[in-house]
Amino acid sequence: MAARENRSTYLIQTVCHALDLLGQFNSERAELGVTELSRRMALHKNNVFRLLATLESRDFIEQNRSTGNYRLGLKNLEMGQVYCRHMELRNVARPVLETITAALEESCSLIIMQGGSMISIEEVETPLPVRVVSRPGVWLPFHCTAPGKVFLAGMHDKERRQFLSGELTRQTRRTIIDKWLLLEELDKVGRSGYALDDEEMEDGVRCVSVPVYDKTMQVAGALAVTGPAMRLGDERLEKEIIPVLLRSAGELSRKMGGHQP
């Protein structure tokens, strides 16, 4: 077996320096100057200043105008809050996913948005032999998945236009690639409280998804049930699966301090 390639070959030195710089700030030294950072990191002052300027432009660093020293910016707090929210959601969601799968005998997953992308972070698989195998950690497209439609429907108009600014790629013959038709679909999602992927991502596979809200009434995540189209017919979706999902999402939203609108 070939030796595993050293991961250090993939590292970008400038990015490493920027992260090391952020790591210099702690509870003991909340503010640091260019000279001190240069000494600690063994970098030329000019290099440190360029790193600071770049991080400041993205709000990861801010300068105390009265002292001239630097400190961590608000972007770090924002990212920390996002991380905590996602971890809290994942922890409280697992029993809910297990209950849904036990009731429906279909695979259920929890999907979140992260950095402008969408990813499944938790899943409980169906015990049935015929199943749709998904892979937690794989990035998902928005326009042709039920969770993606949930997130798009929950966005403000400006944010939604940004997400739909590019070309919509066709995954199957059922994929909606007309933006006006997709916007009509998102209006229905907003009214009904759930979204459907009707073999739009993969032939023979259907998925239904509902939003989970946090205490700010923002969409914190999406619960989704996925399975073979032959088992997820319209009647079963309407009478069994969607009601279970909506109740479960309401329960999970309450645990996150929110509620279903």
pLDDT for 87 equals: 61
Domains of the chain, residue spans = 7-72, 78-255
pLDDT for 44 equals: 94
Could you tell me the sign of the dihedral formed by the alpha carbons of 209, 215, 218, 220, in that order?
negative
The DSSP code sequence of the chain is: -PPPPPGGGG--HHHHHHHHHHHT--SS-S-B-HHHHHHHHT--HHHHHHHHHHHHHTTSEEE-TTT--EEE-HHHHHHHHHHHHHHHHHHHHHHHHHHHHHHH-SEEEEEEEETTEEEEEEEE--SSSS-----TT-EE-STTSHHHHHHHHTS-HHHHHHHTSSPPPPSSTT----HHHHHHHHHHHHHHS-EEEESSSSTTEEEEEEEEEBTTS-EEEEEEEEEETTTS-HHHIIIIIHHHHHHHHHHHHHHTB----
List Cβ neighbours of 220 (8 Å cut-off, separation of 6 or more): 85, 86, 89, 112, 212, 213, 214, 256, 258
pLDDT for 1 equals: 38
pLDDT for 64 equals: 92
CATH number given to 7-72:
1.10.10.10
pTM: 0.68
pLDDT for 133 equals: 64
The fold for domain 78-255 equals Beta-Lactamase (3.30.450)
pLDDT for 62 equals: 93
pLDDT for 218 equals: 87
Tens-level pLDDT at each residue, the chain (261 residues)? 334 445 556 678 889 999 999 999 976 778 999 999 999 999 999 999 999 999 999 889 999 988 999 999 888 876 765 665 656 677 788 899 999 999 999 999 999 887 778 888 888 999 888 777 665 556 788 999 999 999 999 999 888 988 888 889 999 999 999 999 999 999 999 999 999 999 999 999 999 999 999 888 889 899 999 999 999 999 999 999 999 999 999 998 988 787 777
* Burial (0-12, 13-18, 19+ Cβ within 10 Å), 168: middle
Domains 7-72 and 78-255 equal at CATH topology level? no
pLDDT for 105 equals: 95
